[in-house]
Amino acid sequence: MATGKNFLVGIFDDEDVLIDSIAKLRNTGIKIFEVYTPFPVHGLDTALGYKPSNLPIAAFLFGLTGTILALTMQIGMLGFDWPMDIGGKPYIPLPSFIPVSFELTILLAALGMVFTFFIISDLKPYKIPYMFDKRSTDDKFVMAIDLDSNKESSEVITKLLQETGAIEINTQKVD
């Protein structure tokens, strides 16, 4: 969390009004620090100019690791370390290795992606987040604007927020 900064906080009660407001503010050149919503609002990430997450690529790579790990394990154990003659069948029966390889692919893809998500989003059990407004996990949409990184004065932005439908506006110093 950005510390020691002054924020202008606009509160909205409708996600469509919020998205229109974001578009207007961004067109004026105002940088928005972050928007906090109670649920995933469709089109919010594009309105804020966020790029799609690369997490699916991480999931693919973790999954690939799982497949390679599982095949190496099975072929290594039954093919090389201790080959077993089971009814004269091959020591490395690949069709028999499909289920375990598949399961480990999924397991590593899912766990790897979720832990990556926790790390990059800084989600952890002992974290106490700074909430600009606690209603943002209930029914309000909260927009935080970092005043220090914007050229426009607080008054100009406040006026813009009012015009675009914010129901409440306040300033907060985070320390």
* CA nearest to 158, candidates 147, 148, 149: 147
Residue number, 83 or 156, with CB nearest to other proteins: 83
DSSP 27-79: HTTPPP-EEE-SS--TTHHHHTTPPPPSHHHHHHHHHHHHHHHHHHHHIIIII
* CA nearest to 63, candidates 2, 114, 16, 120: 114
Kindly report the length of the chain.
Answer: 175
Q: Is 29 in the site for other proteins (CB under 8 A)?
A: no
* CA nearest to 33, candidates 12, 17, 48: 48
Q: Is 69 in the site for other proteins (CB under 8 A)?
A: no
Looking only at residues 135 through 154 of this chain, which bind other proteins when binding is defined by CB under 8 A? 135-139
Q: Is 59 in the site for other proteins (CB under 8 A)?
A: yes
Select the residue interacting with other proteins from 104, 160, 161, 166 (CB under 8 A). 104
Residue number, 121 or 162, with CB nearest to other proteins: 121
Q: Is 124 in the site for other proteins (CB under 8 A)?
A: yes
Select the residue interacting with other proteins from 61, 68, 69, 73 (CB under 8 A). 73
Beta bridge partners of 173: 6
Q: Is 126 in the site for other proteins (CB under 8 A)?
A: yes
Q: Is 86 in the site for other proteins (CB under 8 A)?
A: yes
- Find where tokens 């093919």 sit: 79
Q: Contact 33/172 with Cβ under 8 angstroms?
A: no
Q: Is 43 in the site for other proteins (CB under 8 A)?
A: yes
**Contact positions vs other proteins (CB under 8 A):** 14-17, 34-45, 48, 50, 52-53, 55-56, 59, 63, 73-74, 77-78, 81-82, 84, 86, 89, 93, 96-97, 99-100, 102-104, 106-107, 109-111, 113-114, 117-118, 120-131, 134-139
